Amino acid sequence: MEQATRQKLEERIRAAAGPIYKTYLAVRNTVLEMLDSAAPGSVASDYWRQELAGFEYMLDASPLIIEKLRHHSYHLTGLHEYFYRAHHLRSAEPYRQKLKALSELDTDGLRVPEARALGGFGFEFDGGLYNLDTLKFYEVLIGMDCAGFLDVCKRGEKQTVLEIGSGWGGFAYQFKTLFPNTSYVLVDFPQSFLFSSTYLQTMFPNARICFRGGAPESYADIDFSKYDFVFIPHYAWESLTSQRVDLAVNMVSFQEMRDEQALSYVKQLAKWGCPRLYSLNRDRSPNNAQISSVGDIISKYYKNEEQFILPVPYHALHLPKKSLLWRFKQWIKAAVGYRRARGPLEYRHIAAKLME
């Protein structure tokens, strides 16, 4: 019996050690090169030093771990697959209601469910999987659309989109699925590319990829427009030469940086003439004492315009009940242009346009 179990395990491991695992191994080799090239102490904040240490094991992942890569991305998002298993189906209704509320705001078909590959998870609605990440990305896409930031993409014109702090690659997957004629640039810590580069190369096997190790100056000659996906390690950011970037995005990442690093990103985007920057962040994260105000940092170079999507933050699932009294109050507020001021620890959708 024991031998049969061992044999079945070995067969499972061999089956999982196919093309996707080979992609991971190639990604890992490049990540190790990047880590050798990064300057000592170049991690953004004390908060992220601890986060990166938490998934060091991903540098030595087995085929069975990579087969369920999405189950391990909780290190980047805090989202666990466990809470979406069948025995938690009783918790699905708030997700359904929030998805419905977002869909009612979506006039352009921006809804992209979680992919099932690599252990994709979520509650199933209308034949697709949805989780808190899926809803967050959907909400940001709707916010961008409301601000007019997606108009050129919707016309099918070539655009370069740059995401700072791109996590496991989920938003890049949604954006590239909706707008294939996009050069998508991901800027992050090398360790994060173990997730995003493996994921995106798996989901888009024919994509043109720029993913290489090397010293900061070796990234200066990259032409973003020639690729579908470009992966830039954080330490190479200030070595990049002027680029055309049409839209920059940051979700729940500026708030985790030091002031000087967040400012360096915003300043360089402005220097390149990037016309639009979309942020979903708190002004200050309670986990990070090294940031003063994300909104203030962006406003040094961009004109901020807050987008109001839903009456609850992205991580909250329970929407207020729309009684007649609630609807009347909302009508009065809209009529007088009232918007409640957000506190520094509340999430804000900011659609920022470059100052002239």
> Three-state DSSP class for 297?
helix
| pLDDT band for position 326 (cuts 50, 70, 90) | very low
Identify whether 84 is part of a domain: no
Identify whether 81 is part of a domain: no
Lowest pLDDT segment from 35-49, 79-93, 326-340:
326-340
Identify whether 61 is part of a domain: no
Report the predicted TM-score, pTM, of the whole model to 2 decimal places.
0.91
**Total number of domains in the chain:** 1
User: Contact, 189 vs 48, CB < 8 A?
Assistant: yes
Instruction: State the pLDDT at residue 150.
Output: 98
Question: CA-CA distances (angstroms) from residue 93 to 109, 152, 317, 318?
Answer: 22, 35, 9, 9
Q: Name the CA radius of gyration of the chain, rounded.
A: 21
Q: What is the mean pLDDT of the chain?
A: 91
Tell me the mean pLDDT in the region 47-56: 77
Instruction: State the pLDDT at residue 1.
Output: 52
Please give the Cα distance from 293 to 271 (Å, whole number).
21
Q: Which two tokens stand for residue 299?
A: 């406003």
Instruction: State the pLDDT at residue 200.
Output: 98
| pLDDT band for position 3 (cuts 50, 70, 90) | confident
Instruction: State the pLDDT at residue 322.
Output: 62
> Three-state DSSP class for 128?
strand
Lowest pLDDT segment from 8-12, 18-22, 117-121, 316-320:
316-320
Identify whether 253 is part of a domain: yes
Instruction: State the pLDDT at residue 95.
Output: 97
User: What are the pLDDT digits (tens) for 169-213?
Assistant: 999 999 999 999 999 999 999 999 999 999 999 999 999 999 999
Lowest pLDDT segment from 46-50, 134-138, 190-194:
46-50
Query: The domain that contains 152 carries what CATH number?
Result: 3.40.50.150
Structural domain range at position 262: 132-354
Tell me the mean pLDDT in the region 131-143: 97
Identify whether 111 is part of a domain: no
- Percent of the chain clearing pLDDT 70 (strictly above): 90
| pLDDT band for position 288 (cuts 50, 70, 90) | confident
User: Contact, 164 vs 252, CB < 8 A?
Assistant: no
DSSP one-letter string for 60-112:
G--HHHHHTGGGGTHHHH---GGGGSGGGGGG-HHHHHHHHHHHHH-SS----
User: Contact, 249 vs 149, CB < 8 A?
Assistant: no
Residue for token digits 């729940």? Answer: 252
User: Contact, 220 vs 237, CB < 8 A?
Assistant: no
Looking at the predicted structure, is the pLDDT value of residue 328 above 50? no
Q: Which two tokens stand for residue 185?
A: 């640039």
| pLDDT band for position 42 (cuts 50, 70, 90) | low
Instruction: State the pLDDT at residue 325.
Output: 53
Q: Please give the helix or strand (H or E) that residue 334 lies within, else none.
A: helix 324-336
Tell me the mean pLDDT in the region 314-331: 67
Looking at the predicted structure, is the pLDDT value of residue 242 above 50? yes
Q: Please enumerate, as own/partner, the contacts of 89-98 that have beta carbons within 8 Å and a separation of 24 or more.
A: 89/123, 91/123, 92/123, 92/125, 94/317, 94/318, 94/319, 95/122, 95/123, 95/125, 95/130, 95/131, 95/132, 95/135, 95/317, 96/123, 96/125, 97/317, 97/319, 98/135, 98/310, 98/317, 98/319
Identify whether 332 is part of a domain: yes
Tell me the mean pLDDT in the region 251-268: 93
| pLDDT band for position 335 (cuts 50, 70, 90) | low
User: What are the pLDDT digits (tens) for 78-88?
Assistant: 999 999 999 99
Edge-to-edge strands, sheet with 302-307? 209-210, 229-233, 182-188, 159-164, 247-251, 276-282, 347-354, 302-307
Q: Please give the helix or strand (H or E) that residue 132 lies within, else none.
A: helix 132-146
Identify whether 83 is part of a domain: no
Please give the Cα distance from 49 to 300 (Å, whole number).
27
Please give the Cα distance from 159 to 144 (Å, whole number).
14
- Higher per-residue confidence, 323 vs 38: 38
